[in-house]
Amino acid sequence: MLIWFLPVFLVLLMVGLPVFFGLLAAPGILLYLNGQERDIALLYRNVYNGIDSFPLMAIPFFMLAGELMNRGGITERLVEFSQALMGHLRGGLAQVNILSSMLFAGLSGSAVADTSALGSMLVPAMEKEGYTRKYAAAITAASSVIGPIIPPSGIMIIYAYVMGESVAALFLAGIVPGILVGVGLMVMVRLTADKYDLPAAKRVVLQGTSMGAVEWWVSFALVRLNIGLVIWSFVPLGEDASATANWLSLGGALLAAHGLFLGIRQLVGHDFRMVCKRAMVPLQTPILILGGILVGIFTPTEAAAIAVFYATLVGFFILRTLKMKDMPLILMKAASTSAVVLLLVGAAMAFKTVVSLSHAPEQLAAIILGLSDNPLILLLLINLLLFIVGMFLDAGPAIIILGPILGPIFVDLGVHPVHFAIIMSVNLTVGLATPPMGLVLFVASSVSGERVEAIARAILPFLLVEVFVIFLITYIPAISMTIPRLTGFVN
């Protein structure tokens, strides 16, 4: 009888019950009818047990870091930087919207935060430049799904927690797929420029931008330090090299980086250099997070705490755009967003208890394997299933419910666990922008004032690009697996 938990859950969703209560009510009702009242206590106790986890602490920290960055004016700097790089292309602001989403993804890891922060700024600007409001909202919603793919990513933290995978490996595996989605959307914008009569190309670099002395020197140091460390990594020093040799080679690399930038500054204008410098401090956030994890200085959860510390330092002391009076609102927004995610995770972990009691995974595995023994056909079918699920269910609960069921099946068929994690994560993330129930469609509608139906029609060409990328990721494992393998996080 417990096998009916999923149909009951879907019925509760269709009558309008919130996902959190549906995840608890459906299995609770079936356990009661099945005479397993003792297991009901276990079910609800697992709500707390599902939240009480050290890896999941990264979620509220990343949420808080994103709020601090957004409130501190970081979003504006990223948009200015994107305009300086992409504003001269046909449909420049649409391209800027996509690039800004890719950059913002390295700060928040949330599609909803991306849509809200960038949409409130770029949708009115795009409409003023001649774009239709539904097109502006559609490109904002479509590009926002990059947020949970490029690290840091909240849903990948959840997947790693549920399935026992390495968070660092999933973060690294998401870099190339996220970039592919962004590049694909940019290509689609250019291909549809004539159809939608997008504005002509024009150079966009803000004139007269300025920055404080502290920010100027910090940006000056960071850009040379980052490039210097890249150069230093290619210096052929043996393992037995002395500390003096290491320090001398590092100093030489920093001098080389400084010389490189002295040459570059002769090729670009003052305003372009200033816009790039203003973006340098925010762009250090993903470098700090990923660099620290890769080098082994801190865990992903500790990296999230470091991101909060860095965002606070930047907002209060470097950019000086944050005030103490801003903190209550920032903390409340981060807390409410985190609470929603963690409650869903807790309820989904309790739901997972009934999944295991019902033996649904074994039965579903038998059904799936009965359809075909060809992994390529099964991957096609599972992509269709995930795409449909993503239309109606948020990515976090879907991963917790379906991950333990589907993951072992495909691992037994020879699909690498990290590869399947990326297939599932990207597919369900794209579902956030898919009609009829895609969450970011409703957020984009709220930000733009445009009807969801109009945005859903305008977003279809961009969804086709994202579906194409999903199939590329599925059938070319090297797209997601190369970076984790090169860095030693995947064998």
- C-alpha 407/C-alpha 404 separation (Å) is 6
Sequence-distant (≥ 6) Cβ neighbours of residue 314 within 8 angstroms: 69, 72, 74, 281, 282
Q: Are 346 and 403 in a shared domain? A: no
Assigned domain for 142 exists = yes
- Stretches where the chain sits below pLDDT 70 are 1-6, 108, 200-208, 238-239, 353-362, 364-365
> CA distances (Å), 263 to each of 258, 259, 260, 278, 313, in order?
9, 6, 5, 20, 31
CB neighbour list of residue 24: distance below 8 Å, 6 or more residues apart: 43, 44, 47, 347, 350, 351
State which of 355, 389, 407 marks the end of a domain. Answer: 355
Domain boundary among 322, 355, 388: 355
Predicted local distance difference test score (pLDDT) of residue 2: 52
Domain assignment of residue 481, yes or no? yes
Q: 428 and 340 share a domain?
A: no
Closest CA to 178 of 152, 203, 201, 207: 152
- Of 120, 444, 166, 475, which Cα lies nearest the Cα of 294? 166
Task: Record the tokens describing residue 57, joined without a space.
Answer: 């602490």
pLDDT at 349: 76
42 and 108 part of one domain: no
Cα dihedral sign, 477-480-485-488: negative
**Whether residues 341 and 386 fall in one domain:** no
Instruction: Flag whether 442 is in a domain.
Output: yes
DSSP string, 354-416: HHHHHTHHHHHHHHHHHH-S-HHHHHHHHHHHHHHHHHHS-HHHHHHHHHHHHHHHHHHTT--
Question: Is the omega angle on the peptide bond into residue 328 within 30 degrees of 0, that is, cis?
Answer: no
Q: Can you tell me the distance from the alpha carbon of 254 to that of 411, in angstroms, rounded to the nearest whole number?
A: 45
Query: By the 8 A CB rule, do 55 and 300 touch?
Result: yes
Measured from the Cβ of residue 20, the count of other Cβ atoms closer than 10 Å reads: 16
One domain, residues 454 and 484: yes
Domain-embedded: residue 434: yes
* Same domain assignment for residues 136 and 162: yes
One domain for residues 367 and 439 = yes
Same domain, 371 and 489: yes
pLDDT score for 438: 78
- Which pLDDT value is given to residue 3? 59
Query: Is residue 322 a part of any domain in this protein?
Result: no
What is the Cα–Cα distance from 45 to 274, expressed in whole angstroms? Answer: 54
Cα distances from 480 to residues 151, 161, 175, 264, in angstroms, run 13, 20, 8, 33
Tokens of 185: 């959307």
Same domain, residue pair 349 and 394: no
232 assigned to some structural domain: no
Residue where one domain finishes, among candidates 321, 355, 389: 355
380 within domain boundaries? yes
Q: Are residues 100 and 190 both part of a single domain?
A: yes
Q: 141 — alpha (psi -120 to 50), left (phi > 0) or beta?
A: alpha
For 8, the domain range is 1-55+334-355
Give the three-class secondary structure for 99. helix
Helix axes 478-486, 175-191, angle to 10 degrees: 140
Number of domains observed in the structure of the chain: 2
pLDDT tens-place string over residues 163-173: 888 888 999 99
Q: What is the pLDDT of residue 201?
A: 61
pLDDT for 21: 82
Do 344 and 421 sit in the same domain of this protein? Answer: no
Q: Do residues 412 and 346 both lie within one domain?
A: no
- Residues with Cβ within 8 Å of 418's Cβ and at least 6 positions away in sequence, in order, are 165, 166, 169, 170, 173, 480, 481, 484, 490
